[in-house]
Structure formats: C-alpha cells, structure tokens
C-alpha cells in the first residue's frame, strides 16, 4: 500500500495515532492537575516503565493537558551531562518572566525572580543578561545546600503562581538519571510546596530503578508521589493500537495478522508501531494478511536492530556488552546476579562495577535485590543476534 498514507509512526517519543490502553494514567494526571488548580492537595506523579512503553508520549500529553487548563507548564529531560539545576533554571526563568513582567504582576512574582537569581549564584551557572538585571533575594535559595535552596525556589515559584491565580507543572523525563542528592532535593522541595498547599506539581517519568531511588532518598516520598506503572498493552489494547489507525484510512487487518503482530511484539507500543509501519508498506491490499506480517517481520527486526536497539548497544563498553550478552544467554526476564557471573565464569563480586555502570546508563535494572533485567523489552533477543555463538565470551 502507499507508504505516503502509512499511519504508523515508530520513533522515540513520537505520539502514536491511537494512544490505546493509557486511559487510567491519563485520568490520574488530569485529576491531580485539576485538584491542584482548585487549591486541593494532590500528589505529584512519576510514571514508571521500561523503554518503549510510551512514557515520553504520556508526559507530552500531561504538559498539553496542563496548558489547556491554564497552567504554566514545561517539559525537560534529565540526562547524564547536566545537573538538575541546569535543567530547571531556563524554563523557570521563562515562567517567572511571564508571571512578573506584566501590568498585573505582584510582589511575589518579582520575589521569585530574585530567588531564582540567588539560586543561580549558588549553583555557579551563568545566565548573562538575567544576572545583570536582577538583584538576588538575600537569605532565600542562597545557602549552597541544594535540598534547602531548591525548596526555597519552588515555594517562591508556587507563591508567584498563586498570586496570579495560575499553577505550575514541571514535567521531567528520564528521572532515573538524577543523582540521589538531586532526587532527594526534589522530594524535599515538593514536600515544602505540599505543606503550603501551593499550586506546583511535578509530573515525571523514569525507568523502574526510579522506585529504588525514591525509597532511598526520603522516607516520605511515597506520601508525596504516586508511581503509576505502564507496560505492555493488553491483547485488546494492542489490537486497537493497530486497528484504529488503519481503519481511519479504510484498511483492515485479518484476525490472524493481528494475533501474530501482538505475539511478536508482546504488546509493547514502540514495537507495535514498527510492525504496523513495516506491514503497511509491504501489504499490497486490504485486509493485511498473516503472510504480509510474516514477510514484514524481517524488515521490522532489521529496523529495530539498526536504530532502537543499536543506539543503546553502542553506548556500552566491551565488558558491559559481555555482561549483557551473558544476561541474554540466560533467557527472558530477570536473572540472579550469581547466574550472570556463572555464565561469565567469574565471581559475583568481580562483575559488580560493570552491573552498576549499566544501571547508571539505563540499560538494566534490579527488579529486586540480587536480580537483574533489561530495561529494553526484547533486548535479550537482540543481544543474541548481534553477538551470536560463543565468541562473545572472549570480547
């Protein structure tokens, strides 16, 4: 069929044509946003899930929803190369200018700008013209202790928003890349905002290890955040993600074709889009058949190997690749660290540093103490394809 009409959109963070199976988490976010806007207490949210389940897509939807409700909202992505303050300062600067430079601006907005100026000074980040034009707020967000200063800053931002009868939503993607110190400071800041019932909410997303990071940071983290989990879609929702976009263009799937795609992808949203995209381009006519799916499967796997899987594989060192190949050798699901060490013919203690580095890179996580699993669905199959045979043991 004509690829120009192909409705499927594989790609990281790319909104699918049909956001199936995510009604519950979208509703939870909408309820939280509405309660906070109405001056009622509500927890912040951190969406937890593996790679390729649509966490970033959900964050974009949350940001859009917040803006439609009149929030000042922004979306930032944490990563290894920048600190949390560096990520927060530019969008907060933009927000505070919009809250404080109009005729309706009050003292709280101007105070928040001064607090941001103080905060910038403590984290040793330069923002040029902003620093020249605004004096710091003495005694606010200027202690040099991130836990104290971020809380001061969030309170000032929340008060500025309340003064203008609006609210602030900070959407933070890839939260697992925050350091323990940064995550602890974020929790403390949300705690201060919550105590004062100010209109500021965090809506985040991260890999499963974020749960451990939250638990280690502050004992009251569970009282401040909900952690909705998103994963593979049910068979019904996975089929809807394929059927609805195709039907909008007058194309149908044979029942056997749908069953096969759901089986191959295990219901993971990214893979559903990849198979849908490839089978559309291969099929000659509607309905899309089981044979079309079988022919398209090689193209789908090749595309994933060259992009989705490969970009993650290439970030790893030879020793890290050996560790992942050993984990893949053990099959699907989480495995004991002792079994990985046995597959490598080494002691468990010797692979600890490699395991820690892979967790920091977001390649693996620990579902429970002493166990390890890939953060990327179907990555075990990829590792066996890209490092076949037994030569990997000597890499």
pLDDT for 369 equals 85
Higher pLDDT, 85 or 98: 85
Percentage of the chain modeled with pLDDT above 90:
77
Q: Report pLDDT for 99.
A: 82
Question: What gap in Å lies between CA 52 and CA 361, rounded to an integer?
Answer: 16
Query: How do residues 45-87 score in pLDDT, each as one tens digit?
Result: 999 999 999 999 999 999 999 999 999 999 999 988 889 999 9
Beta-ladder partners of 46: 204
Q: Give pLDDT, residue 139.
A: 85
- Give the global pTM: 0.91
Q: CB–CB of 215/231 below 8 Å? A: no
**CA–CA separation, 266 vs 250, rounded Å?**
26
Q: Among residues 248, 177, 232, 240, which one has the least CA distance to residue 51?
A: 232
């Amino acid at each position: 069929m004509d690829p120009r009409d192909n409705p499927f959109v594989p790609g990281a963070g790319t909104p699918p044509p049909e956001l199936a199976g995510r009604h519950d988490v979208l509703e939870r976010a909408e309820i939280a946003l509405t309660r906070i806007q109405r001056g009622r207490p509500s927890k912040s949210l951190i969406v937890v899930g593996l790679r390729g389940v649509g966490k970033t897509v959900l964050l974009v939807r949350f940001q859009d929803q917040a803006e439609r409700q009149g929030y000042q909202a922004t979306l930032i992505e944490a990563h290894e190369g920048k600190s949390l303050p560096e990520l927060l300062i530019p969008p907060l600067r933009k927000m505070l200018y919009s809250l404080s430079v109009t005729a309706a601006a009050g003292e709280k907005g101007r105070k928040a700008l001064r607090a941001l100026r103080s905060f910038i000074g403590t984290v040793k980040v330069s923002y040029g013209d902003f620093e020249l034009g605004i004096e710091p707020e003495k005694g606010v967000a200027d202690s040099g202790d991130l836990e104290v200063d971020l809380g001061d800053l969030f309170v000032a931002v929340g008060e500025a928003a309340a003064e203008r009868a609006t609210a602030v939503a900070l959407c933070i993607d890839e939260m697992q890349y925050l350091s323990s110190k940064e995550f602890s400071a974020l929790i403390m800041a949300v705690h201060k905002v919550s105590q004062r019932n100010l209109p500021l909410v965090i809506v985040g997303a991260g890999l499963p290890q974020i749960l451990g990071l939250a638990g280690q940071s502050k004992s009251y983290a569970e009282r401040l955040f909900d952690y909705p989990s998103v994963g593979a879609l049910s068979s019904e929702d996975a089929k809807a993600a394929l059927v609805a976009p195709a039907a909008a263009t007058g194309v149908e799937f044979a029942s056997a074709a749908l069953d096969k795609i759901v089986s191959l992808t295990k219901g993971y949203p990214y893979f559903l889009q990849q198979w849908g995209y490839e089978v559309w381009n291969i099929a000659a006519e509607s309905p899309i058949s089981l044979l079309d799916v079988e022919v398209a499967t090689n193209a789908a796997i090749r595309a994933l190997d060259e992009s989705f899987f490969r970009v993650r594989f290439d970030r790893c060192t030879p020793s890290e690749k050996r560790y992942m190949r050993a984990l893949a050798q053990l099959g699907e699901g989480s495995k004991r660290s002792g079994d990985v060490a046995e597959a490598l013919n080494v002691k468990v203690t010797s692979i600890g540093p490699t395991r820690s580095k892979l967790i920091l890179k977001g390649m693996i996580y620990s579902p429970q103490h002493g166990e390890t699993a890939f953060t990327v669905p179907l990555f075990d199959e990829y590792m066996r394809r890209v490092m076949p045979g037994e030569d990997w043991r000597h890499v």
